[in-house]
Amino acid sequence: MAAPLQVWVLSDQRAGHYNQSRGIVAALERVRPLEVHWLDLSLRVGLARSPMRWLLNRGKPPAPAWLRAFYRLPKLPSRPCELIVSTGGKTSFANAWLARRFGARNVFAGSLRRLSPELFDAVLTLPGFAAQAASHLRVELPPCPLDASVLRQPGAELRASLGDEPYPLWALMLGGDGAGFRYRKSDWRALCDLCNRAAAVFGIRWLLLSSRRTGRDAEAALQAGVNASRLAVACWHHAGDSCEVAPLLGAADRIFVTEDSMTMLTEAIHAQKPVVSLSPARARPDLRYAGMLERFAAAGWIRRERIASLAADVRVMAGGGWRPLAYSPLDGLAKQLQERLGL
């Protein structure tokens, strides 16, 4: 077997960016063994971007020690770096800087912030975003470390732990305010109605997962409003519950997810199962975000519904309208990276 590839992953510690980097690493692990070092960093001041951009776009930057003038970052690993991975515009400068200094290949997902694309071996680009340079690598979905093969075992283990549960299981993944979506008390009440009515009509039980953005008040409303007998699993973030998403997605027959979280939507689509995306009454995502949602729906990967409308008539869910992914996005990304990086 090939020696493990020495990989440095630069992280700005944002959950969505962290998850995408995990997806890139998971794809690379399908190609060859890796030795991965995660390095958390942060920009000292936003104005640092301009001088770094100037240095990087015009030639080889100074020694890595100078990077600490612009970033807070930990001690670098002692073993030589062969590949640098990062997600998010704030990491792009450090990614390009270290790759140039160490002669390493590099992969980046996010906005280049006017950095030259030639500073990167692969810049992951989604449909609808400009992809004009040779380094751009088009992907259909944001990277994610999950697919059906990864979810199969944890899903089976969760179902086994529920004993002789005779009901179909539907997952419900909840975000909250963000990305142009704003939730009112009426939206959370409607979601409670949706959960209770769907369970009664279709004979299902819910696998519910809330998140930091759901908020304490919304969690309290859901805990009070959703019939506990309709919940096979409930993971309440603000109650201190610790739940992993993989068993829920693996065990679910159908997945419901709020549209405000692109990370959750991506995880749900990667599960290769029917996905319903839910939106509150106040939904004003920006054009890029809205375009991604429309593309997912047009492909049949998600079926978009308003929470209130669906709660008023859950029977419409008896129909179809889905075309879940027939392939593993992780396998596809692994092949693309293998070819681009020459692994």
- Average pLDDT in the 133-149 region? 93
CATH number at residue 47: 3.40.50
Are 108 and 153 contained in the same domain? Answer: no
Quickly state the pLDDT bin for 13 (edges 50, 70, 90).
Answer: very high
Are 273 and 220 contained in the same domain? Answer: yes
Are 109 and 174 contained in the same domain? Answer: no
- Number of domains the chain is built from: 2
CATH number at residue 159: 3.40.50.2000
Are 202 and 300 contained in the same domain? Answer: yes
Nearest residue to 5 via CA among 101, 78, 83, 79: 83
Are 176 and 299 contained in the same domain? Answer: yes
Burial-class residue 304 by CB neighbours within 10 Å (0-12, 13-18, 19+): middle
Whether residue 221 lies inside any domain: the answer is yes
Average pLDDT, the chain: 93
Domain region containing 60: 5-145+330-341
Whether residue 325 lies inside any domain: the answer is no
Contact, 23 vs 108, CB < 8 A?
Answer: no
Quickly state the pLDDT bin for 131 (edges 50, 70, 90).
Answer: low
Whether residue 84 lies inside any domain: the answer is yes
Whether residue 199 lies inside any domain: the answer is yes
Whether residue 324 lies inside any domain: the answer is no
Are 125 and 192 contained in the same domain? Answer: no
Are 205 and 125 contained in the same domain? Answer: no
Are 161 and 294 contained in the same domain? Answer: yes
Contact, 175 vs 258, CB < 8 A?
Answer: yes
Whether residue 255 lies inside any domain: the answer is yes
Whether residue 126 lies inside any domain: the answer is yes
- Average pLDDT in the 55-71 region? 89
Structure tokens at 121: 């071996």
Annotate the chain with three-state secondary structure: CCCCEEEEEEECCCHHHHHHHHHHHHHHHCCCCEEEEEEECEECCHHHHHHHHHHHHHCCCCCHHHHHHCEECCCCCCCCCCEEEEECHHHHHHHHHHHHHHCCEEEEECCCCCCCHHHCCEEEECCCCCCCCCCEEECCCCCCCCCHHHHHHHHHHHHHHCCCCCCCEEEEECCCCECCEECCHHHHHHHHHHHHHHHHHHCCEEEEECCHHHCHHHHHHHHHHCCHHHEEEEECHHHCCCCCHHHHHHHCCEEEEECCCHHHHHHHHHCCCCEEEEECCEECCCHHHHHHHHHHHHHCCCEEEEHHHHHHCHHHHHCCCCCCCCCCHHHHHHHHHHHHHCC
Nearest residue to 21 via CA among 117, 163, 145, 154: 145
- Average pLDDT in the 239-243 region? 88
What are the pLDDT digits (tens) for 106-119?
Answer: 999 998 888 999 99
Whether residue 323 lies inside any domain: the answer is no
Are 84 and 134 contained in the same domain? Answer: yes
Are 164 and 309 contained in the same domain? Answer: yes
- Which residues, including other chains, have CB under 8 Å from residue 97's CB and lie 6 or more apart? 52, 55, 56, 61, 64, 67
Quickly state the pLDDT bin for 2 (edges 50, 70, 90).
Answer: confident
Are 162 and 117 contained in the same domain? Answer: no
Are 135 and 197 contained in the same domain? Answer: no
Quickly state the pLDDT bin for 243 (edges 50, 70, 90).
Answer: confident
